[in-house]
Amino acid sequence: MQGQRYYYLIELQYLGFRYHGFQKQPNVKTVQLVLERTLNYVLGHKDHKVLPSGRTDAMVSANQAYIELFVKEELDEQVFLKDFNHNLPSDVRAMSIEQVDAKFNVILNPKIKEYLYLFSFGEKNHPFAAPYICHINDHLDIEQMKKGAQLFQGRHNFQNYVYKPSEMTVLEREVVQCELVNNDIYTASFFPKQSYMLRVCGPGFMRHQVRLMAGALINLGRGVHTMEELELSLTQKREEPFTFIAPASGLILNSIKF
């Protein structure tokens, strides 16, 4: 794309259950694929570019995500938003659009991302709940898990909570908030009577980091891991890596603050 360009920040929501993640990949349906196909139709051309605020894994949903759209023509924002939503599938929604300047960077500008991990245990859930909430068959010690969640707060080396890091991966990360509470945000008539939510907030996360943290806490609740093991995992490399990555369908990118 050369010449005059216009930059737009678009806020999105999507249910990730039937998608192979956000990022476009060959031969599979992704959120980026349906966004770009819809943009091709609505704009009437392919001379545009989409840059996401981040990438979610297969089956992960987003209550608030963003893309930056680069186009050559200035858009009538409200007309575009209406047409865009009209042509998007029912599990993807554009919430807002605003013009930004060339200095704005949708990847670097976000300050805090909030992830929620929803889960329940005990009696099996209604099948309709499967896209939104992870079910654990075993009994969980929730009070122990609440204490364990607090260990993650602060700046730590999360080397035990990343999937296949590269040599360039920055392992030291800051978790601004980590708490396990009753889920009173996402509810439905077919949800279990009692469900829980792990809330994790921070400026940036590595691949599978939040799901590995959730998995370690679930195994703490099961009695597979001890509190001491969790404490040590934040100060030294484990000889036996954590292998339980909590199922993706319980994870929601809940908000992004700029």
**Binding-site residues:** 115
Catalytic hit among 47, 57, 83, 91: 57
Q: Are 245 and 215 in contact (CB under 8 A)?
A: yes
Positive/negative CA dihedral, 173, 174, 177, 180: positive
Alpha carbons 46 and 191: distance in angstroms, whole number: 42
Alpha carbons 199 and 177: distance in angstroms, whole number: 7
Biggest CA–CA distance in the chain, Å, is 61
Residue type, position 124, single letter = K
In the numeric block, the tokens 């601004």 are attached to 176
- Count CB neighbours of 74 within 10 A: 10
Radius of gyration (C-alpha) of the chain in whole angstroms: 20
Residues in Cβ contact with 108 at an 8 Å cutoff, skipping those fewer than 6 apart? none
- Give Cα separations from 63 to 91, 117, 146 (angstroms): 11, 12, 24
Annotated binding site for substrate: 115
Asked about 57 being catalytic, the answer comes back as yes
Q: Where are the alpha helices (DSSP H) in the chain?
A: 31-43, 77-87, 142-151, 209-222, 227-233
CA atoms within 13 A on the CB side of 196: 21
Positions marked active-site: 57
